[in-house]
Amino acid sequence: EVFPELEKIQEAFTSQMEAYQSYWRDDPEFDRSNLLRAAPHLASCVPDFEMLLRTSRFALATNFGWPRPKIQPVEFDVAEHLAGILPVTLDRNKTGDVTVGLQVNGSGGGEWTLVVNGRRPVAAERGLAPDRGDLLYLNSKTFQKCVQGRLTPRQAMSAGLLSSEAGALSAEQLLDVLASVSGRFASEGSSPESLLTETVGRLDG
């Protein structure tokens, strides 16, 4: 015999477990990589009794995050943009291909591994591959501005809005990669310098 309350119990359980979805869909490796990259001078906190008491009081004061806030619509979807310009299959069999990680934080962002041939991405895959050698790191607002032509990768780098970890590619080549995935290169012969001139001319006009 099925308990009449079983369905309600199942719904309540599912609803409560949704609070942990952010842990499941993010990077499954709970390490200190991002902390060491952004603020290596910060010491690890000590989870003593007082800290646990503060976190418990906060959870009670906020009713454990319930009711959950309404999901705000995404202003710019990086995944949708990439899907429109790159195949989602990952093919690294071609000679000369290297992999570049693309980490876009914020609303509409995500993590991808780009396969780059020369200086142009030829494919993309969700997630950061553990063997990728290079990384582009920015937020979704900056990426959106690059796509819309309101900002160039070089300007973003100079303003501290873009950081990179060079491996197989040089910093200049990584700027080319971001310019390409943001759709700002008009041709294979374009360069960061010509891209900057083109953008400034468009803004002046």
Give residue 197's pLDDT: 42
Does residue 84 sit in the same domain as residue 57? no
Give residue 22's pLDDT: 65
Does residue 88 sit in the same domain as residue 175? yes
Give residue 202's pLDDT: 39
pTM score, whole prediction:
0.60
Give residue 175's pLDDT: 92
User: In terms of residues, how long is the chain?
Assistant: 205
Give the C-alpha separation, 162 to 151, whole Å: 11
In a domain, 73, yes or no: no
Does residue 105 sit in the same domain as residue 17? no
Q: Cα angle at 164 between 111 and 138, to 5 degrees?
A: 50
The boundaries of the domain holding residue 128 are 78-204
Does residue 57 sit in the same domain as residue 83? no
Give residue 87's pLDDT: 82
Q: Could you tell me the sign of the dihedral formed by the alpha carbons of 21, 165, 76, 92, in that order?
A: negative
Give the C-alpha separation, 183 to 199, whole Å: 13
Give residue 194's pLDDT: 43
User: In total, how many domains does the chain have?
Assistant: 2
In a domain, 191, yes or no: yes
* pLDDT values of the chain reduced to their tens digit, one per residue, 205 residues: 556 678 888 888 888 777 777 666 555 556 677 778 788 888 888 889 999 999 999 989 998 888 878 888 899 999 999 998 888 665 555 556 788 999 999 999 999 999 988 778 988 989 988 888 789 999 999 999 999 999 999 999 999 999 988 788 888 999 999 999 998 643 333 444 443 444 334 334 4
Does residue 57 sit in the same domain as residue 82? no
Give residue 35's pLDDT: 78
Does residue 179 sit in the same domain as residue 112? yes
Does residue 92 sit in the same domain as residue 144? yes
Give residue 91's pLDDT: 54
Q: Could you tell me the sign of the dihedral formed by the alpha carbons of 160, 122, 104, 24, in that order?
A: negative
Does residue 163 sit in the same domain as residue 191? yes
